[in-house]
Chains A and B, each alone.
Chain A
Amino acid sequence: DVKVTQSSRYLVKRTGEKVFLECVQDMDHENMFWYRQDPGLGLRLIYFSYDVKMKEKGDIPEGYSVSREKKERFSLILESASTNQTSMYLCASSVSGRSGDTQYFGPGTRLTVL
C-alpha cells in the first residue's frame, strides 16, 4: 500500500512565525503536491513537484514556498504565517506525469494561525 505521511496532524502557530510542513511518501512516486482544503472551496493546489529540486506554482502559491531535496520528501514552508493561512493542508503523491494519475493523500495537517 502507498503510504503518505505528514509530520503533524495538528499545529498551532502565531502570526509571523515560519512554519514547516513535511510530507514523506514511500512508493518512489515522481510527483508530489501540496493542497489546502477550506470549507466550500474544496482542495486548492498550492505547489507541486514533478522531480527532485523541481517545482511549479499551483493556483494559490502566494505566501508559500516548497522544497524537494529528496524524491520521497516534499516540504511546504510558510515564511511568515498569517491568520488567513489557517486551513487543512494535504500532501499527495502520484506515480508519474501521466494525465490523471491517481493521487494518494496523506492524513492532513490542520494548521491554526493565531
Chain B
Amino acid sequence: KAGVTQTPRYLIKTRGQQVTLSCSPISGHRSVSWYQQTPGQGLQFLFEYFSETQRNKGNFPGRFSGRQFSNSRSEMNVSTLELGDSALYLCASREGGYGYTFGSGTRLTVV
C-alpha cells in the first residue's frame, strides 16, 4: 500500500509569491489534514478535509487555503508569502479512528 505522497519535497520562493503544495493520501483514506512545523511554533494544525469538505481550520490567516478533490487528493495554497511561512508542511491521512499516516513533507523556504 503506497504511503502519503507530498510534492514537491523542497521549494524556494520569494516573498510575495504564492505556492501550491500537493498531497496524495493513502488509497481509501478520505480524511486529509495539513500541519505546519517550525522550530519556534512546533507542529500546528492548518486544516482538515473530508470528502471534499473542510471540516476544521486552524488559527492561520486567510492567506492559507486548501482544497480536496473527489479522489481525496488535497492541495494547500499560500498566497503573498512571508519569510515566516518558511516551514516544513506535513500532510496526513487517515480512515476511521486510527492513527494518522504522514507524508515526508514539503520544505518551503521563503527568501
Q: Do A and B bind each other?
A: no
A interface with B by C-beta (< 8 Å)? none
